[in-house]
Amino acid sequence: MFQADQKIVPRSVWGKFARSRWVMVWFTQLLYYGTAWLEYNGRQALLFDLDTRRFFLGPLVFYPQDFIYLTGLLVISALSLFLFTAVAGRVWCGYACPQTVYTEIFMWFERKIEGDRNDRLRRAAGPWTFDRAWRAVAKNSVWILFAAWTGFTFVGYFTPIRELTQELLTFTIQPWELFWIGFYSLATFGNAGFMREQVCKYMCPYARFQSAMFDKDTLLVTYDEARGEPRGSRSKKADPTALGLGACVDCNLCVQVCPTGIDIRKGLQYECIGCAACVDVCDQVMDKMNYPRGLVRYSTQNGLKNAWSKAQMLRRAFRPRVLVYTAVVWLLIAGMAAAIVARDDLRVDVLRDRSVSFRLAEDGLIENVYRLNLMNASEKVLEVRVSLSGDNPDFRVVEDAPIRVKPTESQWVVLHVQADPEGVESGSNPIVFNIQSARIVDGMVQPASAQTVEEDAVFLAPR
């Protein structure tokens, strides 16, 4: 049912791919911790404001009615993942996945405090001493602080981060904010500090279905078996051909640096996240032995089998499947961008007043009450007029004064609709609200910006 894993203690490695991983660590972390503090037009530039059900993305404001754009974004993300996987295998896992990025950061803290692999293994095998204890306390403290900062930033995307800071400093933070900071901190601490490769191996669904997106031209980290075998140790001066050996000196370093603890020489394995740590370390070994680099390298199954050059493999990157994915992704991006640019300024939700089905007004007319949620998705004040569609003289909206909705604001208004009892049918009568909006600039209504939204509703009359 359950097999306990041996703890993996990876050795540190440096090289061109490790450098690329750190570039991505800096890029993604500056993006994550920095974006929360950016402002646009006096408000937080990226904010999912759950209280007012608004999502701010720079100059754009989205409401729950704009859910379709989120769906579009998810479809584009999924197709992009297909595309990147088909071309470059698990490049996302190796360089940009939060699990990889935070594990890299946590391992950096660990190395700085507890030393590299050999020091850590030596301490772990020995008894608990003062030296071992203070290092463990220091490491966990730094991890907790870093995880707490991550959790705080996460909640800062849902509550304005400056307000959140103020609340934290004045001990007025809301319980749900505290809960989510704690929850996200704990998740970061647990995933990056302790679970690490277990998340990739046992929890991540992408690791399981990615092989369905692979083909023989997908870029992978590969071991050149034809060149490396038979493996065996030898002195630097020895001639491997004379000894009947391949290029692999069987130093095991590629296994020691692997964050998922696998041996790349055993071939393609689903645990491999494509981080290329083994490529960096093997290249260093090849340099020391004065052998050509690339015994372990990024290649494709076809490239390895046919001894293709980089240019030949690159040409296969433009195969029909990849071109189709690329075309579909760009079409979707263009379509979504056009839809966002052309979207209406105003969103409207119509709710009937549920406390009373209908009532009789003083002049004998039947009256229904509605609550309209007017949501301004623009950066301008909107002037809104509400009437009923069609030319049925038996129905009218009582309030005919224009309503002003502030930029990016969502506002509730109560409207009364009256009908002549002679002109309505008993029970339910369908009606359509006609809501016209126009932008106001420098106090003047801009007729060119006029837009109309229609919303269906029901008018109830006595039976």
- In sequence order, which residues have a C-beta less than 8 Å from that of residue 440 and are 6 or more positions away? 380, 381, 382, 383, 404, 446
Stretch that binds ligand SF4, among 129-137, 264-272, 310-318, 378-386 (CB under 6 A): 264-272
Residue with tokens 């704990």: 186
Percentages (nearest 5) of helix, strand, coil residues in the chain: 45, 20, 30
Closer to ligand SF4 by CB, 211 or 446: give it.
211
Question: 205 phi and psi, to 5 degrees?
Answer: -70, -25
Q: Angle 41-38-167 (CA atoms, 0-180°, nearest 5)?
A: 100
Residue with tokens 């494509």: 274
| Least distance in angstroms from the C-beta of 13 to ligand SF4 | 8
Closer to ligand SF4 by CB, 279 or 375: give it.
279
| Spatial distance between the Cα atoms of 312 and 297, rounded to a whole number of angstroms | 16
| Spatial distance between the Cα atoms of 105 and 314, rounded to a whole number of angstroms | 32
Using CB under 6 A, pick the residue from 258, 322, 424, 438 that binds ligand SF4: 258
| Least distance in angstroms from the C-beta of 293 to ligand SF4 | 10
Per-residue binding letters, 238-257, with ligand SF4 (x by CB under 6 A): ----------xxxxxxx--x
Closer to ligand SF4 by CB, 181 or 295: give it.
295
Closer to ligand SF4 by CB, 244 or 430: give it.
244
What count of residues does the chain have?
463
Closest among 150, 155, 196 to 177, alpha carbons compared: 155
| Least distance in angstroms from the C-beta of 452 to ligand SF4 | 57
> Alpha carbon 11 to chain centroid distance?
30
Helical H segments across 89-223, by residue range: 91, 98-114, 117-125, 130-155, 161-169, 175-188, 197-198, 205-209
Work out whether 262 is an interface residue with ligand SF4 (CB under 6 A): yes
| Spatial distance between the Cα atoms of 90 and 92, rounded to a whole number of angstroms | 5
SS3 340: helix
Residue with tokens 């020995």: 126
| Least distance in angstroms from the C-beta of 267 to ligand SF4 | 10
Closer to ligand SF4 by CB, 91 or 348: give it.
91
Residues of span 216-235 touching ligand SF4 by CB under 6 A: 221, 223, 228
| Least distance in angstroms from the C-beta of 436 to ligand SF4 | 59
Closer to ligand SF4 by CB, 271 or 420: give it.
271
Closer to ligand SF4 by CB, 281 or 435: give it.
281
Residues of span 145-164 touching ligand SF4 by CB under 6 A: none
Work out whether 91 is an interface residue with ligand SF4 (CB under 6 A): no
Closer to ligand SF4 by CB, 282 or 435: give it.
282
| Least distance in angstroms from the C-beta of 256 to ligand SF4 | 9
Closer to ligand SF4 by CB, 64 or 230: give it.
230
| Least distance in angstroms from the C-beta of 257 to ligand SF4 | 6
Closest among 95, 20, 15 to 285, alpha carbons compared: 15
Closer to ligand SF4 by CB, 54 or 196: give it.
196
Work out whether 207 is an interface residue with ligand SF4 (CB under 6 A): no
Residues of span 267-306 touching ligand SF4 by CB under 6 A: 272-278, 281-282, 285, 295-296
| Least distance in angstroms from the C-beta of 269 to ligand SF4 | 7
Closer to ligand SF4 by CB, 156 or 228: give it.
228
**270 neighbors 208 (Cβ within 8 angstroms):** yes
Strands (E) across 244-316 are located at 296-299
| Least distance in angstroms from the C-beta of 38 to ligand SF4 | 34
Q: At what angle do helices 16-35 and 277-289 cross, to 10 degrees?
A: 150
Residues of span 34-53 touching ligand SF4 by CB under 6 A: none
Stretch that binds ligand SF4, among 205-213, 258-266, 443-451, 454-462 (CB under 6 A): 258-266
Q: What is the 3-state secondary structure (H, E, C) of 361-418?
A: CCCCCEEEEEEEEEEECCCCEEEEEEEECCCCCCEEECCCCCEEECCCCEEEEEEEEE
| Least distance in angstroms from the C-beta of 150 to ligand SF4 | 24
Residue ranges in contact with ligand SF4 by CB under 6 A:
221, 223, 228, 248-254, 257-260, 262, 264-265, 272-278, 281-282, 285, 295-296
